[in-house]
């Protein structure tokens, strides 16, 4: 080995001093490498290492795919939120999507706003991760969705407060059932072999002689029940009112009730005044309320009583209430018949024809009898109309025209419009934005009404 070492040193000296010595040096280097210990490479021959490397690659691929799916889902949801905001901004009777969009915000506005905020945060989370371009697109969609949902929700809240209501978006996140138990259910009339009931909600605690509110349910004159709005009736009762929710005869395909339902609710009003005292109510402070078709019956009953034209099947003098509170009432059935959107199962043309017994042109006198304008007079009691701005089922334009006509004829009419809201905007769930608006606006109006009486 000493000779070999000398040769290597000589070769290095020769490399620096004599280029012709390069060949011997290379040869000596090759010879030395050949006589050295062999180096064994383990790369590619370690099965466990290969598996770990493959596993890392698989996990990385799955992580990337997962981010793509999550970001993609966020983008789709954000786009849907923006679409719902746009849909709620157009005429709701123009399409089924516009109808659905206008029905969403008063129930799910705060939820959609939170979802939009989550999408913004999701996009920000993926901003510096692959796929960066998708993350940035989702961030933009989320920001637009947040702006749109925040604007819509804020306008609903502001409108409710402006109308005297009190709406809490945080409370609106906790939706609950519209059902609530009543205190009693009694029969106020038996007619045509049918028992008509009055459902009683008594005020809590000793309140003395409580003011009385008689409520008439909606449902196109062919559906619905006095127990449908149990939560709202209980809420008003807990606020100090004796609430009486009444049934009436409903129309069937073979039996129109255009002239029966009005007499039923007139009978119910007579009964309510006579029996209010037994349930702790003051018969001299009586308000009539109703929604949709029930709003039509409430207005026609109250305005007709002021004219002395309301007729009861059970006798007695039909009292004139001190006020009327209605929501999205079918006060202009011709407008609803001509322009109402045909929601499957609740088509205005069909339920109006069922109620009348035929088309309006077949029975113009019947159409006039159910039209609320027929009963307008300066003697009509003060009236609150809570109206969704985007009602496609019972078009808002017809309701506003009725209110303007009544006001011009001397009726004290207050119209409170709820933006981005459709028919039955308050009935999606208890504690929703729409439900809070309806109840608190109504309570504020009733308090002011009582102060004048």
Clarify whether residues 160 and 304 are in a common domain: no
Residue 37 lies in a domain: no
pLDDT at position 280: 93
Residue 63 lies in a domain: no
Clarify whether residues 162 and 182 are in a common domain: no
**Helix or strand holding residue 401 (H, E):** helix 396-408
Clarify whether residues 185 and 146 are in a common domain: no
pLDDT at position 204: 84
**How many residues can be counted in the chain?**
453
What are the average pLDDT values for consecutive 10-residue runs of the chain, which has 453 residues? 37 36 34 40 56 53 72 93 94 86 96 97 79 88 97 98 97 97 97 96 83 98 97 97 98 98 98 95 97 98 98 94 98 98 96 98 98 98 98 97 98 98 97 98 98 94
| Cis status of the peptide bond prior to 131, with omega within 30 of 0 | yes
Output phi, psi for 210, to 5 deg: -80, 145
Clarify whether residues 421 and 356 are in a common domain: yes
Clarify whether residues 180 and 149 are in a common domain: no
Residue 47 lies in a domain: no
Clarify whether residues 150 and 241 are in a common domain: no
pLDDT at position 26: 33
Residue 195 lies in a domain: yes
Clarify whether residues 123 and 246 are in a common domain: no
Clarify whether residues 193 and 162 are in a common domain: no
pLDDT at position 58: 46
Q: State how far the alpha carbon of 4 is from the alpha carbons of 10, 19, 25, 34, in Å.
A: 10, 20, 11, 13
DSSP at 174: S
Clarify whether residues 128 and 6 are in a common domain: no
Residue 56 lies in a domain: no
Clarify whether residues 261 and 364 are in a common domain: yes
Residue 46 lies in a domain: no
Domain holding 147, by residue range, is 80-168
Residue 411 lies in a domain: yes
Q: Domain ends where: 124, 147, 168?
A: 168
Clarify whether residues 152 and 177 are in a common domain: no
pLDDT digits over 124-162, tens only?
887 776 678 888 899 999 999 999 999 999 999 999 999
Q: Domain ends where: 115, 148, 168?
A: 168
DSSP 120-170: HHHHHHTTTSSSHHHHHHHHHHHHHHHHHHHHHHHHHHHHHHHTT----TT
State how many domains the chain has: 3
Q: Domain ends where: 138, 168, 198?
A: 168
Residue 303 lies in a domain: yes
pLDDT at position 46: 67
DSSP SS3 for 190: strand
Clarify whether residues 156 and 305 are in a common domain: no
The model's pTM: 0.85
CATH number of the domain residue 394 falls in? 3.40.50.1820
């Amino acid at each position: 080995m000493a000779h070999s070492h000398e040769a290597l040193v000589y070769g290095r000296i020769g490399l620096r001093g004599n280029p012709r010595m390069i060949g011997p040096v290379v040869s000596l280097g090759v010879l030395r490498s050949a006589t050295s210990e062999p180096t064994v490479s383990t790369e590619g021959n370690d099965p466990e290492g290969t598996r770990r490397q493959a596993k890392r690659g698989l996990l990385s691929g799955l992580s990337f795919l997962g981010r793509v799916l999550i970001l993609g889902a966020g983008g789709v949801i954000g786009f849907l939120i923006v679409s719902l905001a746009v849909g709620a901004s157009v005429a709701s009777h123009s399409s089924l999507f516009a109808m659905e969009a206008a029905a969403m915000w008063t129930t799910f506005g705060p939820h959609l706003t939170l979802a939009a905020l989550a999408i913004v945060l999701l996009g920000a989370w993926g901003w510096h991760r692959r796929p960066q371009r998708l993350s940035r697109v989702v961030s933009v969609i989320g920001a637009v969705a947040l702006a749109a949902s925040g604007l819509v929700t804020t306008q609903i809240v502001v409108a409710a407060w402006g109308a005297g209501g009190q709406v809490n978006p945080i409370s609106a996140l906790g939706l609950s059932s519209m059902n609530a138990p009543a205190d009693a259910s009694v029969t106020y009339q038996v007619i045509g072999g049918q028992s008509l009931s009055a459902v009683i909600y008594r005020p809590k605690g000793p309140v003395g002689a409580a003011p009385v509110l008689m409520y008439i349910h909606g449902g196109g004159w062919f559906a619905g029940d006095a127990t449908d709005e149990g939560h709202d009736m209980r809420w008003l009762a807990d606020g100090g009112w004796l609430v009486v929710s009444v049934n009436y005869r409903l129309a069937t395909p073979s039996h129109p009730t255009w002239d029966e339902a009005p007499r039923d609710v007139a009978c119910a009003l007579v009964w309510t005044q006579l029996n209010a005292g037994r349930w702790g109510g003051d018969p001299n402070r009586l308000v009539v309320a109703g929604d949709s078709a029930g709003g039509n019956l409430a207005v026609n009953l109250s305005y007709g009583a002021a004219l002395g034209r309301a007729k009861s099947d059970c006798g007695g003098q039909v009292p004139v209430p001190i006020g009327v509170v209605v929501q999205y009432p079918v006060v202009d059935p011709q407008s609803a018949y001509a322009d109402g959107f045909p929601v499957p199962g609740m088509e205005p043309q069909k339920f109006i024809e069922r109620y009348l017994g035929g088309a309006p042109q077949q029975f113009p006198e019947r159409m006039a009898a159910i039209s609320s304008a027929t009963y307008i007079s300066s003697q009509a009691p003060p009236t609150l109309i809570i109206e969704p701005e985007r009602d496609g089922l019972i078009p808002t334009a017809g309701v506003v025209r009725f209110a303007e006509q009544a006001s011009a004829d001397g009726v004290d009419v207050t119209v409170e419009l709820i933006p981005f809201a459709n028919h039955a905007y308050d009935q999606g769930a208890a504690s929703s934005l729409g439900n809070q608006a309806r109840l608190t606006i109504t309570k504020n109006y009733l308090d002011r009404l009582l102060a004048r009486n």
